Chains A and B, each alone.
Chain A
Amino acid sequence: MKPLFATLALLVAALFAISLMTGPAGIGALDGLRSLILGGDGPMPIVMREIRLPRALLGLAVGAGLGLTGAAMQGYLRNPLAEPGLIGVSGMAALGAVIAIQTGLSLGTALALPATALTGAAIGVGLLVALAGPRGGSVTLILAGIAISALAGAGTALVLNLSPNPYAANEIVFWLMGSLADRSMVHVWLALPPMLLGAALIWTTGRGLDALTLGESAASAMGVSATGLRWRLIAGVALIVGPATAVAGVIGFVGLVVPHILRPWVAARPSALLPASALGGAALLLAADIAVRLILPERDLKLGVLTALVGAPLFLHLIWKTRSGGRV
């Protein structure tokens, strides 16, 4: 299992470096690195520090966050089809962002859009807590999440429907596809602290998720509090997925596919899958973000479109494998 983590970590480091070197400015690798670290005159340090560094950092953080929360949700619900969007927080964050674009708030300051998205995410968590209640089981949580997602989707569709301004509608549609282009360090500082807090919370659930392999009553008989586990998990997922959606838009399939691919490599242990999926998610998203810059540099291919294009066939392949004998 150690070689797996080493390989994934090396892969992430390499992709992070490649992400820093990829872009239309055509900066050489060594020049770019020098101006990133040492600074200097001219446009090169600005390109490296203000454009490429935040993009690579967000790719790393959002990818790792999606992978980690996907693994945590699958472990908690004991279902390989679970994904971080299931609790409805990302849908509500997207609705908040859509409202910010529609009302023109996002034109005022760069922070207005992520701030309203975070507000949406917070409202989503509030609804979830109210609906799923302190005593609800995992099924209640799923149902509440589906209801909130549906509500957020309906709200987004309503905003698009009533939009009198085709430019705003256009912008909304493109924002919903998810992207890391043109993000600044402000976005990084906005998203990173809550995401780190969420990751720390999810980190503490590892042993509880392992115990849940035996079912809820066996886990509670081993001293794992089902209620405590659920709150830590909901809070952790919300703290990661809310900010991730607020700065990057909706990026699907990473949280679903990455835990699925890596599960056999960690002997299916939910606690070991958490760090592996975080690394795998970061690698996948960094790679996808490099690919959107290389495949169609002039057409602004959206990140969420690419992850879905890659993720859906991967998922089909996994279903195929499941069908022909092996289990998930």
Chain B
Amino acid sequence: MLELQGLSVTRRNRPVLDRVSLSVAAGELVGLIGPNGAGKSTLMEAALGLIPFSGASNLAAMAATDRARAAAYLPQSREIAWPVSVEDLIALGRIPWPGGGRGPADRAAIDAAIARMHLQDFRTRTALRLSGGEQTRALIARALAQETPLLIADEPIAGLDPAQQLACLRLFRALATEGRGLLVSIHDLGMAARFCTRLVLLDKGQVLADGAPDQVLTDDLLRRAFGITARRIDTPDGPAILPI
């Protein structure tokens, strides 16, 4: 679904991404981890062809409309410019599809996205008057309404309460099980270890590790990328990772 080969991005003569190769297949929930400034957001935008890059990305090679039907993108900055209702906000996800955005297929997609993010009570509320976490959920629902096989989300659980973080990652895992592919950047290493099928550790624009969560979250790699040591406690509900 996503195939990146030797992707490099240079901004103002400073290399931000250096020959990154990465793939996301159907059924995978790939967690993108790495320190601030490692190039996670840049990687997502370059993969979608939104910024200039060298190398190859299967998404950027597509025509804009085809790409918009292949991959949905949740940017890190949660922008909502006008006081539209939550339902109208989610309906924006139907823009890449033909028709006026209000046909039966659109209705079904919007209703499904609202149900999956448990936003039924917010439907008619003004999106700008919601809390930050609620806005994030509405924007995730917007990306879901795009009904693409691939979902690229930049820090989707940042700003969500613990219950909503769990609900969101469970939903993403369910989407992967249904056969979709997801690339999600995430800072909570414990959550990443519990829910992602694969982790990609990015540092200084390069892929430091790519593999199953316990192969990536090793003491050595965490020290090299984040400069921390992490205590790992295995619990019946999955590993807990405590940065020290």
Contact = CB atoms under 8 A, between A and B. Distances in A.
A251 interface: no
Contact of B89 (A213, A220, A221, A222): A213
Interface of B: 45, 48, 50, 64-65, 67-68, 71-75, 77, 79-85, 88-89, 92-93, 95-96, 101, 128-129, 139, 142, 146
Contacts of B81: 78, 212-215
A218 interface: yes
A78 to B, nearest CB: 4
Say whether chain B's binding surface is mostly helix, strand, loop, or mixed.
Answer: mixed
Contacts of A181: none
Interface of A: 78, 207, 210-215, 217-218, 220-225, 263-264, 267-270, 327-328
A207 B101 CA distance: 10
Contact of B96 (A213, A217, A222, A269): A222
A215 B95 contact: no
27 contacts: A78-B81, A78-B82, A207-B95, A207-B101, A210-B92, A210-B95, A213-B89, A214-B81, A214-B89, A215-B75, A215-B77, A215-B79, A215-B81, A217-B45, A217-B73, A218-B74, A221-B71, A222-B96, A223-B68, A223-B96, A224-B64, A225-B64, A268-B82, A268-B83, A269-B88, A270-B82, A327-B129
B146 A214 contact: no
A327 B81 CA distance: 11
8 pairs of A and B residues whose beta carbons are closest in the complex: A215-B79, A223-B68, A221-B73, A78-B81, A268-B82, A223-B64, A223-B65, A268-B83
Given A269-B84, A327-B128, A214 B68 contact: no
Given A212-B81, A214-B92, 19 more contacts: A78-B82, A207-B101, A213-B79, A213-B82, A217-B75, A218-B74, A220-B48, A221-B48, A222-B68, A222-B93, A223-B65, A223-B68, A223-B96, A225-B64, A267-B85, A268-B82, A268-B83, A327-B83, A328-B83
A311 B79 CA distance: 30
